[in-house]
Amino acid sequence: MSVNVIVTGVGGQGSILASHILAEAAILAESEYPGGEKVNVRVGETFGAAMRGGAVASHVRFGRGVYGPLVGRGQADMVIALEPLEGLRIAVEYIKEGGVVLLNEERIPPVDVKIGAVRYPEIPEIKAALEQLGASVRVVAGSRLAEQAGTAKAVNIVMLGAAFGSGILPFGEEILLEAIKRRVPQRFLDANLEAFKLGRES
Amino acid sequence: MANSKLNQPAGCTALLMGNEAIARGAIEAGLQLMAAYPGTPSSEVGEALIEAHREGDYYIEWSTNEKVAFEVAAGAAQVGARSLTAMKNAGLNVAMDTYMTLPYGGVKGGMVIVVADDPDAHYSSTEQDTRLLAAYAEIPCYEPTDQQEAKDMTRDAFGLSEQLELPVFVRSVSRISHASGDVTFAPARDKRNSLGFNKHYKLPYRWNVYGAPGPVSKHRWLHEVLTKAREAANSSPYNRLDLAEGADVGVLSSGVAAAYTVEALERLGLSGKVSFLKLGMIHPLPDRLVARLLAGITTLIVIEEGDPVLENMVRAYAQEKGYRVAIRGKSYDSILPPFGEINADKTADAIAGLLQLPVGPDKREGRREKLRSLVAPRSSTLCAGCSHLGSYWALREALKKHKGVHIINGDIGCYEQGGYGLFASKINVSDEQSKRHPIRSAYEILDTIYVMGSGIGMAQGQAQAGYKDGKVVAVAGDSTFIHATLPAVANAVYSRADITFLVLDNRWTAMTGHQVNPNTGVDTLGNETEGFDIPAVVRSLGVKMVRTAEAYQLEESKQAIVEALEFKGPAVVILQGECMLQVVRRTKRTGGATRVDEQACTGCTLCVQLGCPAVMFDKDRKKAKIDEINCVDCNLCVQVCPHEAIAVEGAGK
């Protein structure tokens, strides 16, 4: 069995950190896989240069039969979108029939929209579009819940909590929490653990 | 910092990015010196080694360019040290002169050259495949399939380098360097090579290609060593042949492409049913393994990332040895295009197509195609408050004083985005409006962009050929100025080229992740340095017209450029403004106090043309608006607005 997840968003939102937490959890959980065969973990990223605000997508893959860093077209079990337009961009190409798409509702308009050159699709439009591809789409008030947890920056962890709540991830909550502890700076840990909880319950 | 994840104990398994894995491999080999110039996607090799650096460890530096870095690493290897240099694809072109010559004398200490290619040109000007250059320089080449191999091969490359006395090439790609995987650590070598210099080590005049008996003899020596290198490839643990009994189809793959191939074969149900040769040490070609693969098959499928390098090496070998095998890859009757990157999907399609395997149609493709029109582009932009926005605005304004078709030659750095355009803007080359090419925004100002330092050289050719229809301008950043433009500035002085050269000085090598350069004021490990006086350097090269201005003061910048444009002969303007991301990080500056007075705003959109991603425009209400979250109160749009409709609250007028 293999799991294919893509975390997407805009540069600076923490999608790469979220993907690394998932991959770290998969390494921690390796002993839980039956059979004893070594399980590969991969994260494939596409990101621009040091500039802020670019589109980011991070492919997380683990399990048997995983070798390369990229999820195949139409093969993502789940797309975790920290930004809805980026969720649309990625899920149109990658979500499998019956896959789950989680959309943080906060929109970050690209410059093309800001200068009035193109239109930003409404969230119900995005949801309907992805449902046409057979995806199960859930809109999450990720940014609001992150602020409620104590820091707007924890939106990536709220969305991880929501992802865990979806029941697709093949490892226990304590493993994911351990991975968060290993990757999140100590001074932000409490807020992030709260963010995870709010996301999971959302 | 000893607590870097690269300093964890042997036996642990960690998630490492390919570049971090390469760095760990070097640590496991007992690295003594690392020198590099940053270049995406290779920079994290150096960054990781800086982070893992402990007092008394290896020497490490960000050099001024790849050629200097290469020579620093080569010098270390000459005195016996284990050295590493890492660069992007184009970086090897810069280092090429020394790179091609070093193998004639070889090395004493292990020297490893890591080159991160960039198929699909995610971060590069070209998709060039540097495996060809490993073959061209006649040195051994590894190509890792995943992050574990990236670490292990880098470590083993040092040993192979010492065994053969040749530098060893490790060819990575973006999908290895910038991808992460689980990597299990091996022990780090405690021993360090002892240093010494033997004037005639094993060969006469070993370190002097011209020394008796001359370069041809040294080239002969190189070929003797290559025979041993071929044996190393034939017995390399990274080369694996799985022969399938009775199979008449064979597959050959290497590097990241081998990972895609394994997945594709599994998807198509072909695992174990075709013979498969996976190569990790690809040069010299392991001839005995290739012969065993070719012996039983009639069709060979070659899957590789980049050019058909292995494919053509094997084709030549098969012809020479008389194997009658149809070889299909990217060259003749190709099953994959020789441009763009591949993946498991494309590999599976290519194999299925060639072998006429039934593949179910993708029922959802029609629906996807319709939905794609909803996906708004997200164009790459300069950051909110970037000093380059001010520099480009000032250049535009200064050029308005001169009629004609001006040529603005770009260069490589964040400011290259001055030539990216906005994806949402429709460009039609047959359209008269587009032909006149009005400089509408900061993203359409650059006319030529090729490589580091190319702008000022090309500008001279345009001017010296007698181009008179407009002004000829070149731009380069501070790091690029030091990296690649100094000979060109000297050339412009002594040839009296009538050009204007803008140095966009933001103090950092920003685009690759804010590495230091001599102009930053601190060295690689953060110690203060004397700094680098760009205006003084330009003057000392003989430039008579040198102006400096604050990039955040638009009128001052514009006046400096106006004077430079009017000057007959080479003129240089240094526009100074530290990278805003670094300013924000250091000063914890927040911003967000810039406001538009809607009464005063006429909807003229001049502020939008500044190109700042924090300046928005409400098309329905025809009013500008500031994105308070991204705005850093840099004051640029305030200066651009001719109606005094934008102000930073609390700043006064």
In a shared domain, residues B414 and B438: yes
In a shared domain, residues B262 and B218: no
Residues of A in contact with B344 (CB under 8 A): 68, 70, 72
Dist. CA B651–CA B419, nearest whole Å: 33
Find the CB nearest B367 among A10, A45, A132. Answer: A132
The interaxial angle of helices B147-164 and B18-28, nearest 10 deg, is 40
- Taken in order of first residue, the domains within chain A and their CATH numbers are 2-140+169-183 (3.40.920)
In a shared domain, residues B582 and B595: no
Between CA A132 and CA A135, with CA A134 as vertex, the angle to 5 degrees is 105
Q: Look up residue B482 and give its two tokens.
A: 């030091």
Chain centroid, CA B471 distance in Å? 31
In a shared domain, residues B244 and B187: no
What CATH number should be reported for the domain holding residue B622? Answer: 3.30.70.20
Side by side, the strands of the sheet bearing B249-254 are B240-242, B275-279, B249-254, B299-303, B326-328
- Cβ distance A70 to B344 less than 8 Å, yes or no, reads yes
The answer to whether B175 and A70 have CB atoms below 8 angstroms apart is yes
Q: Give A156's Cβ-side CA count (13 Å radius).
A: 25
Dist. CA A80–CA A6, nearest whole Å: 6
B77-105 burial, b if ≥16 CB within 10 A, otherwise e?
bbbbbbbbbbbbbbbbbbbbeebeebbbb
Dist. CA B127–CA B337, nearest whole Å: 13
In a shared domain, residues B398 and B284: no
Chain centroid, CA B537 distance in Å? 27
Q: How far, in Å, are B14, B149, B219, B285, B586 from residue B184 at the CA level?
A: 6, 10, 39, 28, 36
Dist. CA B610–CA B612, nearest whole Å: 6
In a shared domain, residues B569 and B620: no
Query: How many domains does one find in chain B?
Result: 4
In a shared domain, residues B579 and B595: no
Find the CB nearest B616 among A47, A66, A114. Answer: A114
Residues of A in contact with B513 (CB under 8 A): 49-50
Contacts of B213 (CB under 8 A, 6+ apart): B204
3-class state of residue B509 by DSSP: strand
Domain limit, last residue, from B234, B261, B288: B234
Q: How far, in Å, are B14, B53, B280 from residue B86 at the CA level?
A: 22, 17, 19
> Strand runs (DSSP E) across B430-557, as ranges?
472-477, 500-505, 545-550
Q: Which amino acid is at B39?
A: G
Domain limit, last residue, from B547, B565, B586: B586
What CATH number should be reported for the domain holding residue B70? Answer: 3.40.50.970
Element (H, E) at B626: strand B623-626
> Strand runs (DSSP E) across B293-343, as ranges?
299-303, 326-328
Q: Look up residue B191 and give its two tokens.
A: 């021993």
What is the block-wise mean pLDDT of chain B (653 residues), using blocks of 10 residues? 81 96 98 98 97 94 98 98 98 98 97 98 95 98 98 98 98 97 96 95 91 94 97 98 97 98 96 98 98 97 98 98 98 96 97 92 92 93 95 96 95 93 68 54 92 98 97 98 98 98 97 95 94 96 98 98 98 98 91 95 93 90 92 97 95 56
Chain centroid, CA B89 distance in Å? 6
- B368 inside domain: no
- B536 inside domain: yes
pLDDT in tens, A2-25: 999 999 999 889 999 999 999 999
Residues of A in contact with B425 (CB under 8 A): 117
Residue by residue, what is the 3-state secondary structure of B125-180?
CCCCCCHHHHHHHCCCEECCCCHHHHHHHHHHHHHHHHHHCCCEEEEEEHHHHCCE
Find the CB nearest B378 among A49, A112, A134. Answer: A112
In a shared domain, residues B223 and B259: no
Is the per-residue pLDDT at A50 higher than 60?
no
Using CA atoms of B372, B378, B379, B384 in order, give the dihedral in degrees to the nearest 10: 170
Dist. CA B432–CA B426, nearest whole Å: 13
Q: Give A173's Cβ-side CA count (13 Å radius).
A: 12
State the CB neighbour count (10 A cutoff) for residue B397. 17
- B369 inside domain: no
The answer to whether A15 and A8 have CB atoms below 8 angstroms apart is yes
In a shared domain, residues B32 and B126: yes
Q: Tell me what the mean pLDDT of segment A96-105 comes to.
A: 97
- B377 inside domain: no
Q: Residue B282 class from Cβ within 10 Å (0-12 exposed, 13-18 middle, 19+ buried)? A: buried
Contacts of B74 (CB under 8 A, 6+ apart): B83, B98, B102, B107, B111, B167
Backbone angles phi, psi at B560, to 5 degrees: -60, -40
Look at residue B429 in the predicted model and tell me its pLDDT: 61
- The CA-based diameter of chain A, rounded to the nearest angstrom, is 56
Q: Residue A147 class from Cβ within 10 Å (0-12 exposed, 13-18 middle, 19+ buried)? A: middle
- B546 inside domain: yes
List beta partners, residue B547: B573
Element (H, E) at B83: strand B83-88
Look at residue B1 in the predicted model and tell me its pLDDT: 46
Look at residue B653 in the predicted model and tell me its pLDDT: 44
State the CB neighbour count (10 A cutoff) for residue A133. 21
In a shared domain, residues B31 and B155: yes
Q: Nearest CA to CA, how far is B41 from chain A (Å)?
A: 9
Q: Nearest CA to CA, how far is B302 from chain A (Å)?
A: 17
Residues of B in contact with A129 (CB under 8 A): 371, 374
- B425 inside domain: yes
Domain that holds residue B463: 387-586
Residue that is written with structure tokens 């012996």 in the block: B295
Backbone angles phi, psi at A155, to 5 degrees: -60, -35
Residues of B in contact with A43 (CB under 8 A): 15, 179-181
- Cβ distance B617 to A48 less than 8 Å, yes or no, reads no
Q: Look up residue B604 and give its two tokens.
A: 């003229």
Look at residue B47 in the predicted model and tell me its pLDDT: 97
- Cβ distance A114 to B13 less than 8 Å, yes or no, reads no
Domain limit, last residue, from B234, B264, B280: B234
State the CB neighbour count (10 A cutoff) for residue A122. 12
Dist. CA B442–CA B435, nearest whole Å: 18
- B599 inside domain: yes
The answer to whether B120 and B341 have CB atoms below 8 angstroms apart is yes
In a shared domain, residues B289 and B194: no
Q: Nearest CA to CA, how far is A58 from chain B (Å)?
A: 9
- Cβ distance B511 to A49 less than 8 Å, yes or no, reads yes
Look at residue B438 in the predicted model and tell me its pLDDT: 47
- Cβ distance A88 to B382 less than 8 Å, yes or no, reads no
- Is the CB of A118 inside 8 Å of chain B's CB atoms? yes
In a shared domain, residues B578 and B616: no
